[in-house]
Structure 1
Amino acid sequence: MSRALRQEDLPPALLQDLDGRPADRTTGPQTRAPRVDGTSWLDQLPRRVAEALERWDLSRDDTQPLRSGYTALVVPVRRPRGDRGALKVAWPHTESDTEHLALRAWKGRGAVELLAADPPSATLLLERLDPDRDLMTGPVVATTEVLGTLLRRLDRPAPPWAPPLSAVLARIGDRLDRLHHDPAAGRSFPRRLTQQARSLTRDLLAGSTGDTGDHPLDRRMVHTDLHQMNVLWRPDPGEWVAIDPKVLAGDPHWALAPALWNRWDDVLAAADARSHLRLRLGLLCDAAGLDEDRATAMTIVRLVAEAARSIEEGGADRETWVARAVTIVKAVQPG
């Protein structure tokens, strides 16, 4: 019998990410897990794991290490008949509210298979993938094509529970306006790129019928955090699948930016960063069947929005986001 999880067993990275983090105050129609601050959640985590093991008659697989992301602990487990699984216990926040709904919609086609879910505790039982095999290594051409192919495979009509991209873009427009009108913040980022992103945001939002649900931006189900670390290998039958979905009712072109801002060491090592990034964007569009001009517009908006967020929040990642945004936005410019 596996021993109980102890506080000292928790991965250091998870402790660093969540200790002291305030509770997520954002709620929506899918909110079922009570909000709690990061420190309290970490204190409760051993008990939450024990409750999930009992709920689904699981045992810890102590031959494999615990894993973690920024907001969740993943515990390798064995199911009652001995088959392998992965127990994911998430810190309750907006994106964790809908993860089980997205995985149910995909039914294991292009995404990790959901075996069971307990939304009030933000706990999922998932199939076990190969946690050591992602797209952070390997040829850039091949791994980028995998991402584009997965984006096409995951495409579905937007479900009614998914937050709309048009609402996200409206908030981005407000943030870009604040950046544009704040002289101090404006000095942190090239003004012409902010102006370009504001104009593109207005263009993308044009054509609304007044009902967000009818906006052409909101018609497809999109994994908006599909990047090289969020794809793992499924040994049987042998294929790449997506994990950790953050879903919007949106436009697939919005999903390409994370595949550009990840594997950044490859960008820095490239003889020509612009050519490298444009190659990635072109490969993604070809594999996903997307229009490169529209992908360019949405990538520019998303990158400038991330830089604006970091500048506004004054986070430790501010310089990183500004540098990456400027590099990518300049790289994908036409001509």
Structure 2
Amino acid sequence: MITVAGHPLPPRLLESDDPALVAWRAKLPGRVEKVLDQWELTASAPFTPGGSSAWVAPVTGAGGEQLVLKVAFAHDEARDEALGMRAWQDRGAARVHRAERDDSTTLLLMERIAPGTPLAGQLTGPERDEVLAALARQLWVPPADVLPPADAARLRPLADMCAQWADEAETRLARTGGAYRSGAQAPTTSLPPELIAHGLALFRRLPHEWTREPVLLATDLHGENVLARTALTGACTGSTARGTGPRDPSIGAPKRVAGPHHASAGPVPAGPHHASAGPVPAGPHNTSAAPAPAGLRGMRWALIDPKPYVGDPHYDLLQHMFNEPERLATDPAGLAERLATLAGLDADRLRRWLLARCVQEAGVLDAAATAAQRLWADGVR
């Protein structure tokens, strides 16, 4: 049995049989011991069940600081995690003390958030929408506004990711015929070939249709990656969900009124995890907020585990919808309209993005295929 810093590996980190990850995992004990020694940290047992490609544990600094150490396999999606976290230090991300890349390993030392419970499973679905939309608006900023030019230029365009995922989905759907079930007891059915073809073509095309200024995207923004913290000045609150907070003016004025690739680290147990991000700087984008629903007052939230790309902000709302599968399958068009309104985006464009992503995830998440059929029947193209 592999142990790291005197503790067994979290279960999810043991599951993968990917050869590159298996080889990385075999060297993990030595890597962790090295960074604990160099950075003068003492580790406690890692969080469980953990993620599939990272060892994350509470640590104590030499001066007694309560921190979190993340030692992650530097796979392609997470390549720019540390860069994105640095960019969002005053915009809702957990505070990063130190970040390094060592061969195939990314090292992140972060403040510990208390209580650190994930948004997923808390509040009502509509209230979670408000939290996610408010946080998203704080994240959407042109990379050059928050990073040095060389770092901003490193970030990859959303179109690259979508093209790769569309190719993978095309191969999978050709093999399965787009088969899915609309419920646990429902018979297997299949997406129409014309819907598959249109959806994948749209998934490839939409990133290129965004003609406004590209913004920094988390791409894995959902309730498992948003943690609650004590009510301190500065992080995202439900009270900003009506569209206030920093944003790219090109996105448009706020209106009143979701896969296998983005696997989260899983439920985070109650207790401190990361510390709060710093205060959002004052400025012209920080306008007064409408009163928050009673369930949101005084609550603060912080982002962890982003997969940064640059492009169309509409994409960033999709993963949240996929993490609300019952609502997604029941009324995908209505859910998209609600989130677009909260985030100050175009509802028609978000519905098109949702159709494309649902086709791309068909056969992986049954709710996605069901939602794709409903959107198609509603005339979304």
Q: Is the 8 A contact 1:222 1:250 kept in 2?
A: yes
Letter of the structure 1 residue corresponding to residue 13 of structure 2: L
Q: Is the 8 A contact 2:225 2:305 kept in 1?
A: yes
Residue of structure 2 equivalent to 1:22: 19
Compared CA separation, residues 170 and 217, structure 1 to 2 (3 A)? farther
The root-mean-square deviation of aligned C-alpha atoms, in Å, is: 2.9
- Once the 2 structures are TM-superposed, how far is the Cα of residue 173 of structure 1 from its aligned partner? 5.4
* Residue of 355, 360, 364 corresponding to 1:300: 355
Residue of structure 1 equivalent to 2:92: 110
- Once residues 51 and 199 of structure 1 are traced to their aligned partners in structure 2, the CA distance between those partners, rounded to angstroms, is 47
Higher share in helix = 1
- Once the 2 structures are TM-superposed, how far is the Cα of residue 137 of structure 1 from its aligned partner? 2.8
- Once residues 48 and 176 of structure 2 are traced to their aligned partners in structure 1, the CA distance between those partners, rounded to angstroms, is 44
Compared CA separation, residues 167 and 261, structure 1 to 2 (3 A)? same
Residue of structure 2 equivalent to 1:190: 192
Residue of structure 2 equivalent to 1:48: 31
Residue of structure 1 equivalent to 2:323: 262
Residue of structure 1 equivalent to 2:281: none
> Could you state the TM-score of these two structures normalised by the residue count of structure 2?
0.67
Residue of structure 1 equivalent to 2:109: 125
**Alignment partner of 1:68: what SS?**
coil
Residue 185 of structure 2 is aligned to residue 165 of structure 1: no
Residue of structure 2 equivalent to 1:28: none
Residue of structure 1 equivalent to 2:311: 250
**Identity between Structure 1 and Structure 2 (%):** 32
Residue of structure 2 equivalent to 1:313: none
- Once the 2 structures are TM-superposed, how far is the Cα of residue 72 of structure 1 from its aligned partner? 0.9
Compared CA separation, residues 236 and 65, structure 1 to 2 (3 A)? same
* Residue of 369, 373, 378 corresponding to 1:330: 373
Compared CA separation, residues 66 and 59, structure 1 to 2 (3 A)? farther
- Provide, for residues 94-113 of structure 1, a one-character-per-residue CA deviation record: whole Å limited to 9, x for no partner: 12321110011111421111
Structure 1 unmatched runs, 5+: 24-37, 208-214, 308-317
Q: Is the 8 A contact 2:228 2:301 kept in 1?
A: yes
* Residue of 319, 322, 330 corresponding to 1:274: 330
**Alignment partner of 2:302: what SS?**
strand
- Once residues 179 and 40 of structure 1 are traced to their aligned partners in structure 2, the CA distance between those partners, rounded to angstroms, is 27
Q: Is the 8 A contact 1:108 1:114 kept in 2?
A: no
Compared CA separation, residues 115 and 66, structure 1 to 2 (3 A)? farther
Residue of structure 2 equivalent to 1:220: 215
Compared CA separation, residues 108 and 85, structure 1 to 2 (3 A)? farther
Residue of structure 1 equivalent to 2:292: none
- Once the 2 structures are TM-superposed, how far is the Cα of residue 248 of structure 1 from its aligned partner? 1.1
Residue of structure 2 equivalent to 1:134: 119
* Residue of 224, 229, 239 corresponding to 1:229: 224
Return 71-80 or 128-137, whichever deviates more. 128-137
Residue of structure 2 equivalent to 1:83: 65
Return 114-123 or 193-202, whichever deviates more. 193-202
- Once the 2 structures are TM-superposed, how far is the Cα of residue 331 of structure 1 from its aligned partner? 4.0
* Count of aligned pairs between the two proteins: 289
Residue of structure 2 equivalent to 1:240: 301
- Once residues 167 and 28 of structure 2 are traced to their aligned partners in structure 1, the CA distance between those partners, rounded to angstroms, is 37
- Provide, for residues 279-329 of structure 1, a one-character-per-residue CA deviation record: whole Å limited to 9, x for no partner: 43233212211111111111111221233xxxxxxxxxx4x42x2222222
Compared CA separation, residues 326 and 9, structure 1 to 2 (3 A)? same
Residue 76 of structure 2 is aligned to residue 94 of structure 1: yes
Compared CA separation, residues 107 and 126, structure 1 to 2 (3 A)? same
Letter of the structure 2 residue corresponding to residue 107 of structure 1: Q
- Once residues 53 and 251 of structure 1 are traced to their aligned partners in structure 2, the CA distance between those partners, rounded to angstroms, is 39
Q: Is the 8 A contact 2:169 2:360 kept in 1?
A: yes
Compared CA separation, residues 218 and 69, structure 1 to 2 (3 A)? farther
Q: Is the 8 A contact 1:112 1:126 kept in 2?
A: yes
Residue of structure 2 equivalent to 1:153: 138
> Could you state the TM-score of these two structures normalised by the residue count of structure 1?
0.76
